[in-house]
Amino acid sequence: MPWFYTGDIGQFHGDGCVEIIDRKKDIVKLQAGEYVSLGKVEAVLIGSVYVDNVMLHADPFHSYTVALIVANQAAPQDWAQKAGVSLILLTCARGRRHAKRFLLQ
């Protein structure tokens, strides 16, 4: 059985599924020497009404972090309806102005 060294702490359920319940090491030193607390950054991102879930990854050989974000579907739809903008327009190149306004709100 292959094992992945992600730095996460998990538990196995009776049906064989794995649930991630904690992180072994929360602070990561990036390439430039700055320390980043992954938990604190995740807490800030998850505080947004537009975010349902987030996972942050940092590699000590790079000078940045990467976030995988699961967007909340209802919040952009509500915003678009109130702003009078088609949600489809937000995904088009023509809708960049509206998308920027949405993201900066």
Termini Cα distance of the chain: 47
Whether residue 97 has pLDDT greater than 70: no
Instruction: Take residue 12 and report the two structure tokens written for it.
Output: 């196995």
pTM comes to 0.61
Q: Give the DSSP letter string of 62-76.
A: SSSEEEEEEE-SHHH
Q: Where are the domains of the chain?
A: 73-105
**Quick one: which of 57, 61, 10, 60 has its CA closest to 38?**
57
User: Residue 96: its pLDDT value, please?
Assistant: 62
Tens of pLDDT, residue by residue over 43-90, are 999 998 888 989 888 888 999 999 988 888 888 788 778 878 776 655
